[in-house]
């Protein structure tokens, strides 16, 4: 189970969270988010993190040139596109950053995933590999961080985990609901932001620790269940 804690804003929190057994942290460059960081803050955080932690840059409708510049100066390992970027934009970004994995965030409504299949098909036709698809809840006017959960059962039914990129579940995940979410959706990875905060943008280390432990435990239970059912 790949675990990402998103919206880290300072070095102290970054170091403490990294010690909890996570795989990645999200550095949010969307200026309207309460979790946003400046280039300078991101460089400082990136410099104090151990190499094993993936630094994920979160972008919302940024220009390709700006993303390219931030990847270079902040030593980002992965780019997460969380806005309204179309396949043509992803193609240009891939040409500029051929070796950086791309995660596409997708906001799911109560009705379902909308035209995600079309989007992924267009990317595939351009031979663009999407490293992961992060599914978040759709809330009008917001690009994530709403604290609202996605309809897990519907996501489980609609997302083809065999033919689509690895699924990263986001949206309103907390220490209290993460086990159920993993049990229903069986994602490749999970992403948490507001669900482990004491205030917007302020991570609570005890909540984060509990989240990681509950997620790891649930993932292990799922693995053993499926192994046993096929055994």
Q: Identify the residue whose tokens are 């069986």.
A: 186
| 59 closest CA partner among 84, 86, 34 | 84
Encoded tokens for 227: 């192994």
Give me the catalytic one of 6, 64, 74, 133: 6
| Residue 136 annotated in active site | yes
Give me the catalytic one of 74, 133, 136, 191: 136
| Residue 221 annotated in active site | no
| 9 closest CA partner among 40, 53, 31, 42 | 42
The catalytic residue positions are 6, 136
């Amino acid at each position: 189970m790949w675990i990402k804690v998103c919206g880290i804003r300072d070095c102290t929190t970054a170091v403490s969270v990294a010690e909890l057994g996570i795989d990645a942290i999200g550095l949010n460059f969307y200026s309207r988010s309460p979790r946003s960081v400046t280039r300078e803050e991101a460089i400082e955080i990136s410099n104090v993190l151990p190499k094993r932690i993936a630094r994920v840059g979160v972008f919302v409708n940024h220009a390709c040139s700006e993303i390219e510049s931030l990847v270079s100066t902040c030593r980002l390992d992965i780019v997460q596109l969380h806005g309204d970027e179309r396949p043509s934009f992803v193609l240009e970004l891939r040409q500029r950053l051929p070796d950086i994995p791309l995660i596409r965030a997708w906001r799911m409504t109560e009705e379902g995933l909308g035209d995600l299949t079309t989007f992924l098909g267009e990317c595939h036709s351009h031979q663009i590999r999407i490293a992961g698809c992060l599914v978040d809840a759709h809330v009008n006017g917001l690009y994530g961080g709403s604290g609202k959960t996605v309809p897990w059962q519907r996501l489980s039914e609609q997302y083809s985990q065999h033919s689509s990129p690895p699924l990263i579940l986001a949206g309103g995940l907390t220490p209290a609901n993460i086990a159920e979410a993993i049990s229903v959706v069986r994602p490749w990875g999970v992403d948490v932001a507001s669900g482990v905060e004491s205030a917007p943008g302020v991570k609570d280390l005890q909540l984060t620790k509990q989240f990681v432990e509950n997620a790891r435990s649930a993932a292990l239970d799922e693995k053993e269940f499926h192994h046993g059912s096929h055994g």
